[in-house]
Structure 1
Amino acid sequence: MWTCIILLFYTFAILVQGDEDWKLVNTTQGPVRGRKDSDGGLYVFYNIPYATAPTGTDRFKAPLPPPVWMSPFDAVNRDIRCPQGPNESNMREDCLVANLFVPDTTETNLPVLVNVHGGAFQYGHGLSRQYKTLVQTKKIIAVSFNYRLGVHGFLCLGTEGAPGNAGIKDQVAFLRWIRKNIASFGGNPEDVTLIACSAGSGSVDVLTLSSATEGLFNKAIMESGISTGATGVVIDPIQNAKNFAKELGFNDVDDLDKLEEFYTTASYQQLTSDLYAIVDNEDVMIRFAPCVEKDVGQERVIMDTPMNVMKQGNYTKVPLLYGFTNMEGSMRLSYFDTWKIRMNEKFSDFLPAELRFDSEAIKEEVAQKVKQFYFGNDPVSEASMVSYLLYFTDVLFAYPMLRSLSTRVEALGDTIYLFEYSFVDEQTPLFPHTDVRGAGHCFQSRAVADQDLSGSTEEYKRMVEILREYTLNFIFTGSPTPSGSSLPQWPPANAQRSPYMSLGSVIELKENILENRAAFWDAIYEEYYGGPVMPSATTTTTTTTTVAVAVTNPDLTTNDPTTPVPATTPDPGSDGAVSLMISNVLFMAVLSLFYLSLQ
């Protein structure tokens, strides 16, 4: 009998030979297997469902609980992407998946870095920026994820069917998933740092101000994006929805029920077919982005305007590493030939939408004041390209971030490490019609993330090394320069936005960031800032508490029959057959042992 047993296990060992390249982890949904990365030093777990995106007439609601499975789920890369531009591949509505990068170490309780991808709330996916290099230090775990985008993620009608902020609710659901599962991968659920740029940073700012995220993270790195300005909470989401519906050929937009029916029945191809009408706007704002939600009886993640929340100190403060580049406005270069004409004709169209004026006459007066400040008496032209870049740098990201910083520090004394990234070298191209180089949108974030440095200058390689060290220090301690650091010391900023770290060819601490430009906008915003339109009060729906909790805070361990848990096992990818083979071998081994014991 023992000979047969030994033979069975010897056969099993042969079949599973090579499994040292896999790592098995038990999650609340079932076991998952990640594969050792080809570059070494870490295991990667791709495309693990962390929630389920509702579809059909429920497609704009909060995410549902994720699927569960019994046999190991092979977490291989299936390149799943949420609905976005018409030229993207592998899009599907049920797209809420996570990626984990786990160091090859026996250490546990590691700090966790959560990347929230950018893309104007309309594009992108969890793997668009990765941090394997930081993980290979064997000191942190990095994770990323998909969230719903565009109309799917940010249609905000203030109705039960389209309450708003589905994409932000996906992000909250993911952070809750991390809270429950990251310890199984070796991470510390009490030590989570968010990192993001652009719209991802706008999302992170919203998350830092939401009561729904309390206790889900304890540090945040916010770069080139904030919850006001270009990546901020939208001013009038219902009007935006009406305007976009007209772009798609639906004209009965003043009937809210019919408008909701149009959006809930349209194909995702139709809803992603005309993105220019969402993101290419002179007045800075994106048309489908986070919104202030009405109370329709469901969990809300944004209940008041960000500025109100900050001014009232109605949030839980965490340390922030926070800043922008010196030439963010370069992301508007492609529009220069068209916009220079329109800016000369009617500059008021290019004022930030969050400013509000009592009359068109006052708006035109302010517009001329702004145009005079940046361009003097000259027209917007090739000769004033630098001024064009600085104007959009300020209104898109730089000034909104500085204003928010001052508001936070005044309200709760937030610890904010402020920077301006301006590094250039001989490989940085000149801007058109100038002899000027500058750092474009999210250049500082790219420096920290994975990249091929083989053709880079030694100066840039040194900058990458320094930025990664600052970043790791902040992840570990909440400060970019803890005690004992050899880097230039970097204290937090005060309400006057000083000091700040200048990350250029020379790394040095400076005072008075943006100087006269920030003071100019301070005066204008003090008098004319209006911000998002607050939604009118509405009667709470009769949705029961149990259903609301099941939808917005799914607990995979619950036996509550009202909790909808999909029963199907997700596609395990190309390596699913390996798991099935192993399961069958184990099953046969158990049966054989049982049979032999009866002999």
Structure 2
Amino acid sequence: MFICLSCNTRSLRTMWFIISLLIYALFSPCVQGANDLTVKLEQGYVRGYIDPDGGFYAFYGIPYATAPTGDQKFKAPLPGPIWQDTLEAVDNTIICPQNDPFKVISKNMTIKEDCLIANVFVPDTKEKNLPVVVYVHGGAFQLGYGNLFTYKRLARSKRVIIVTFNYRLGPHGFLCLGTEDVPGNAGMKDQVALLRWVNQNIAKFGGNPEDVTIAGYSAGSSSVDLLMLSKSAKGLFHKVIPESGASTAAFSVQTDPIESAKEYAKLLNYTGTGSIVNLEKYYKSLSYDTLMSADVMYRRDSVFLMSPCIERKKSKEFFLSESPDNILKSGAYPKVPILYGFASMEGLFRVGLFDEWKQIMNDDFEAFLSPDLEFESDDQKRKVTRKIKEFYFGQSTIDNDDIYGYINYFTDVIFAYPTLRAVKLHVEAGHNQIYLYDFSFVHDELPIIPHTNIRGADHCSQTNTVSDGFLGTNYTNSKLEEMRTLTRSIWLNFITTGKPIPEDSELPPWPPVGKNWSPHMSLDLPLSLRGSLLKDRALFWDQIYEEHYRQPIPPPAAQHTEL
């Protein structure tokens, strides 16, 4: 009898233990195995796995929204799907439709129309309520995908959760006609949908939805700079890291979206009337292969046609209804901490075209002016063009000795001046939490600049240093590893505290930027706090833009006059 009672007691204990495990599995948002982690979302269960090198769990390919299809494909995203079985989050091959003239996309990637997926990297730690960083990929709004850069080293710090994701690209994401079916900014609305998904779900992965940093490189940098100004993203982020790209750049916002739509359509052999109604009909009729086939990456005016736009205020859910310039001047945006900067020779990304373009610049420099400049007459345009050309190249013919002027011109026009212009407007609006930097670090494995004997910090060099490195640039040397350690510590400190350098650090103190773009930190070995950043070049462009800035406009209302 005693033995029988003992057996029953043990059986009851075992039964209740099993029941408690089942209850825990049903109601706990997070269940951890030896090599996997299962998380319960509103959409269903999702299972990620420990990285092969350890340190964090990787969740790939979680649908955060649904891309509309057919005639609706240019609209805002729809809610994400719901699933019954546990989603094995292992597919890291999904990308959005795109053209890839640079051949940076791996052959194992799969283009899908419904491509709106998120990747979540969760440290292998018992700590909860971790800060979150959402990285927006670059690619001129034309190409790329969430894991074009990876951040495994940051994840292994066990201090942050990292989210990357896809958004619609090119005309698929940024055709802007101002109509009900093609209102514009589909790609930016994807980004807002992702931030809402993070807000609703990241706590279940162990993250803090009230401590989200949005970061991005190149077009991703412009994206987070624009998200900061959009009312639709308000409250979804708390710190911002734009890496080489600003909201005020001509490539970041279409100056005239209907003209952009016409010009892009002509690259696809469009021969229609050019009315909004006709353009909409034409774009809706195209296959994805045709829609994405135009190559806009080598334009001399430094824009890429399909990018964010100012929407008509009558749009049902607009992302941006005023220009970044006007929003910054109004001060009507959340003044969260910003770690803001660029590489010292961003224009190196155009150096491969120097031998071809130097002669074209001699013959027709006007072709290289940004479309966000306007002039009262052709004579005025010629005078300003000459002024700009002489500022960078002097009065002589552009030749190989002018490679630095060439690099500086594209550095300033596309990246440096828009950033400095935005910083100036922020400061004038009372923003006092901006940490400005210039990334100037180079190492001996970088290529020598043509026609020189030096190396330079190329476009998004800081991103290359913070991340695990770009495809084909896996340099390894002690100096670079020292810089990576330093830069990652700065980024992590900003993500976790809102300041790039702790007060008790042995590194130089880094105060927020004030007037005249001062002070700024030179990111090199060693770090160096300096005064005004590119003051002479910024003041030169200030004068140009004060007199000739062309505000971006929304598309007009469509006139339904065609049969």
User: What is the TM-score with the length of structure 1 in the denominator?
Assistant: 0.85
| Corresponding residue SS for 1:20 | coil
CA deviation vs aligned residue, 1:351-407 (integer Å, no higher than 9, x gap): 221111111111110010111111112211112111111111111100110011000
Return the offset for 1:106: 1.5
In the TM superposition, what whole-angstrom CA distance separates every residue of 1:88-139 from its partner, at most 9, and x where no partner exists? 5410110000000001112110000100000000111011111111111211
- 2:366 paired residue among 320, 323, 348: 348
1:325, 1:441 within 8 Å by CA — same for their partners in 2? yes
The one of 532, 540, 560 aligned to 1:520 = 540
1:74 maps to what in 2?
Answer: 88
Q: CA deviation at 1:216?
A: 0.3
Q: Is 1:463 paired with 2:483? A: yes
Shift of residue 536, structure 1, vs aligned partner? 3.9
Please, which of 342, 361, 365 is the counterpart of residue 379 of structure 2?
Answer: 361
Is 1:120 the equivalent of 2:120? no
> Which deviations, in whole Å up to 9, do the C-alpha atoms of 1:130-158 show, x marking residues without a partner?
11111112111001000000010000001
Measured after TM superposition, the shift of residue 230 of structure 1 is 4.9
Q: 1:270 to 1:454 in 2, by over 3 A?
A: closer
* CA distance in 1: counterparts of 2:327 and 2:202, whole angstroms: 30
Deviation at 1:4, TM superposition (A): 12
1:282 to 267, 282, 300: 300
- Paired with 2:509 and 2:456, the residues of 1 have a C-alpha distance of 24
Q: Shift in Å at residue 461 of structure 1?
A: 1.4
Question: Runs of 5+ in structure 2 lacking a partner?
Answer: 1-6, 23-31
Counterpart of 2:57?
43
- Alpha-carbon distance, 1:228 to partner: 2.1
Q: Find the counterpart in structure 1 of residue 422 from structure 2.
A: 404
> Which moved further from structure 2: 191-200 or 512-521?
512-521
SS in 1 for 2:40: strand
- The corresponding residue for 2:437 is 419
In structure 2, relative to structure 1, the CA distance for the partners of 1:535 and 1:264 (3 Å cut) is: closer
Question: Of 237, 243, 248, which residue of structure 2 is paired with 1:228?
Answer: 248
**Bigger Cα displacement from structure 2, 162-171 vs 347-356:** 347-356
Q: In 2, Cα distance between the equivalents of 1:91 and 1:82? A: 5
Residue 265, structure 1, aligned to residue 265, structure 2? no
Letter of the aligned partner of 2:323 in structure 1? Answer: T
Matched residue, 2:267: 247
Q: Which amino acid aligns with 1:213?
A: A
Q: 1:335 to 1:119 in 2, by over 3 A?
A: same
Which residue is 1:555 aligned to? none
The CA deviation at 1:202 is: 0.5
Q: Give SS of 1:60's match.
A: coil
Give the aligned residue type for 1:177: W
CA contact (8 A) 1:193 1:220 kept: yes
1:72 shift after superposition: 0.8
TM superposition shift of 1:298 = 1.2
| 1:183-582 aligned within 5 A | 183-275=203-295, 278-451=296-469, 456-536=476-556
Q: In the alignment, does 2:188 pair up with 1:168?
A: yes
Paired residue type of 2:123: P
Classify 1:242/1:231 alpha carbon distance in 2 versus 1 (closer, same or farther; 3 Å). Answer: closer
Q: Aligned partners of 2:61 and 2:38: how far apart in 1?
A: 15
- Paired with 2:364 and 2:126, the residues of 1 have a C-alpha distance of 63
Q: Secondary structure at the match of 2:494?
A: helix
Q: In the alignment, what sits opposite 1:594?
A: none
Deviates most, 456-465 or 20-29: 456-465
RMSD, aligned α-carbons: 2.3
Cα 1:419–1:48 shift into 2, 3 Å = same
Q: Who is 1:566 aligned against?
A: none
Superposed displacement of residue 486, structure 1: 2.4
Find the aligned partners of 1:422 and 1:370 in 2 and give their Cα distance. 25
CA distance in structure 2 between the partners assigned to 1:346 and 1:408 by the alignment? 35
- Of 263-272 and 229-238, the range deviating more from structure 2: 229-238
Letter in 2 for 1:28: E
Deviation at 1:455, TM superposition (A): 5.4
Higher-RCO chain (CA-CA 8 Å, sequence separation at least 6):
1
Which residue of 2 is the match for residue 587 of structure 1?
Answer: none
Tell me the TM-score normalized by structure 2.
Answer: 0.90
- Residues 4 and 485 from structure 1, CA distance in 2 versus in 1: closer, same or farther, beyond 3 angstroms? closer
- 3-state SS of the aligned residue for 2:517? coil
Alpha-carbon contact 1:407-1:495 (below 8 Å) kept: no
- In the other structure, the counterpart of 1:548 is none
Greater Cα offset, 362-371 or 484-493 = 484-493
- Other-structure match for 1:590: none
SS at match of 2:515: coil
Establish whether residue 152 from structure 1 lines up as the match of residue 143 from structure 2: no
Aligned residues: percent identity?
A: 48
Q: After the TM superposition, which segments of 4 or more aligned residues of structure 1 sit over 3 Å from their partners?
A: 1-7, 86-89, 451-455, 534-539
Q: Residues 224, 365 of structure 1: CA spacing in aligned structure 2 closer, same or farther, 3 A cutoff?
A: same
Mapped partners of 1:152, 1:139: distance in 2: 36
Question: Does the 8 Å contact 1:163/1:296 carry over to 2?
Answer: no
Shift in Å at residue 456 of structure 1? Answer: 2.4
Report if the CA contact (8 A) 1:97-1:145 is conserved. Answer: yes
- Give the conservation status (yes or no) of the 8 Å contact 1:305–1:534: no
Cα–Cα, structure 1 residues 187 and 19, in superposed 2: closer, same or farther, change >3 Å? closer
